[in-house]
Structure 1
Amino acid sequence: MPQEPARTARIEARLAPDVLALVKRAAEIQGRSVSDFVVSAAQEAAHRAIEETEIIRLSVAGQKAFADAILNPPAPSEGLKRAFASHRRLIREVR
């Protein structure tokens, strides 16, 4: 059986009585301590929050449009050409 990592940090939270009762009930249903339940729930929520910001989900139509834009990029607009030329001048001045 793998050894659990040592817990070295402590966190406190103030809960409304009805929220605490809900958390206790959920922990009981899963046969876990309130502390274990809260840590697990917080970890799952943290993973979800990070995933939502790091992973882009596209519909099938969005995937096709993305792939098409990469495989067949549009010609650069006049504004993009000016920006590129400006960037090139700036880089030359810095060097």
Structure 2
Amino acid sequence: MSALKKQRIDLRLTDDDKSMIEEAAAMSNQTITQFMVASASERAAEIIEQHRRLLLNEESWNLVMDAISNPPAPNERLNRAVKRLQNME
């Protein structure tokens, strides 16, 4: 049993956009709602993935790996922050 659909999005479309969406939905044997939800969800997932993934060139990658492998010694500001945190606990 599928989950009850509770959310709604209203759209304003040009006549051309509406016709094209209706035609594409019919060609893919889907209702307009099914077509629009599937299309929008797929595109949303792509955009979210693009923004969550970090791509680095080789030089940047090496700098990050070096910083992880050889972190700098804590400076005075970081030491003070650690002490404040310990005092809060």
TM-score after normalising by structure 2: 0.69
Question: Equivalent pairs: percent with the same residue?
Answer: 22
Classify 1:13/1:90 alpha carbon distance in 2 versus 1 (closer, same or farther; 3 Å).
Answer: same
Query: What are the residue-to-residue correspondences of 1:77-92 with 2, within 5 Å?
Result: 81-92=75-86
Classify 1:8/1:15 alpha carbon distance in 2 versus 1 (closer, same or farther; 3 Å).
Answer: same
| Structure 2 unaligned residues grouped into runs of 5+ | none
Letter in 2 for 1:81: N
Tell me the CA shift for residue 7 of structure 1.
4.2
May I ask how many residue pairs the two structures share in their alignment? Answer: 88
Query: Is residue 39 from structure 1 mapped to residue 37 from structure 2 by the alignment?
Result: yes
Which of residues 6, 28, 31 is equivalent to 2:3? 6
Query: What are the residue-to-residue correspondences of 1:1-95 with 2, within 5 Å?
Result: 5-11=2-8, 12-73=10-71, 75-76=72-73, 81-95=75-89
Tell me the CA shift for residue 92 of structure 1.
4.7
Structure 1 runs, 4 residues or longer, greater than 4 Å off: none
TM-score after normalising by structure 1: 0.66
| Structure 1 unaligned residues grouped into runs of 5+ | none
Secondary structure of the 2:6 match is coil
